[in-house]
Every structure is written in C-alpha cells, then in structure tokens.
Amino acid sequence: GAVVSQHPSRVICKSGTSVKIECRSLDFQATTMFWYRQFPKQSLMLMATSNEGSKATYEQGVEKDKFLINHASLTLSTLTVTSAHPEDSSFYICSARDLGGYNQPQHFGDGTRLSIL
C-alpha cells in the first residue's frame, strides 16, 4: 500500500520550455502533498506544500510564479516549471501523506530528473 506515482521520470528539454510533473497517490487520499528539489550530493529541499482545493504554501526563496502548483483532487498534484532554464535542472520529488493524520509518514514518488539544455 501507500504508493505514490510520479510522472514523467525524466525530462530533457530546451531552455524556455514549460514542464509539467504529475504526482498521484494510487491507493490512498492525500489532502496534502509536498514538492521537493534535490541537487546532486545535497539534501532534500522542500519547495512547497500543496493543499487540495486551496493555494500552495511556498518555502522562502521559491518563486510561486515560476513553480506553479495545482492540487485539483485528493489524489493528484501537479508542479509546472514555467520557462525553465538550465539552473532549474534538478531532481524533483513529490510526496504525499495519508488522510489518517499527522502520525502518518510521507510516501515519496520516484522523482523526476529534469535537464534543461
């Protein structure tokens, strides 16, 4: 149980392209999903908390107009990197927590490796 599906797993595209990443909880409902970014050999960095039916909460320093988050249902959140540039190249990972409460762990998707040429 507790499977989180993230798609696509890898994206290579030209500078200026917008890229959409999907995160789905397959066997549970998630009021809240989380988006992380990880650069090589560095720690996970929380970018934003995605809330179903309301606006996302962004961490300090993360541009909300560049990283658009939509959480349309209890099982789907999307992250769109708008007008991506080479410095946006990174490993993007989503996670979701079961509605069961704050004692529930977060379950991670497999991540999306984004490479901007």
Partner 1 sequence: QKEVEQNSGPLSVPEGAIASLNCTYSDRVSQSFFWYRQYSGKSPELIMSIYSNGDKEDGRFTAQLNKASQYVSLLIRDSQPSDSATYLCAVNRAAGNMLTFGGGTRLMVKP
Please report, as ranges, the residues that interact with partner 1 according to CB under 8 A.
Answer: 6, 32, 34, 43-44, 46, 49, 91, 93, 97, 102-103, 105-111
CB of 43 vs partner 1, minimal distance in Å: 5
CB closer to partner 1 out of 82 and 113: 113
The amino acid at residue 18 is S
CB closer to partner 1 out of 63 and 110: 110
CB of 117 vs partner 1, minimal distance in Å: 20
CB closer to partner 1 out of 17 and 108: 108
CB closer to partner 1 out of 2 and 82: 2
Joined tokens for residue 29: 């409902």
* Rg of the Cα atoms in the chain: 13
7 CB neighbour count, 10 Å cutoff: 12
CB of 64 vs partner 1, minimal distance in Å: 17
Cα separation, 56 vs 45, whole angstroms: 16
CB of 73 vs partner 1, minimal distance in Å: 18
Residue 45 forms beta bridges with which residues? 37
Using CA atoms, how far residue 31 sits from 28, 40, 68, 74, 115, in Å, is 10, 30, 18, 6, 30
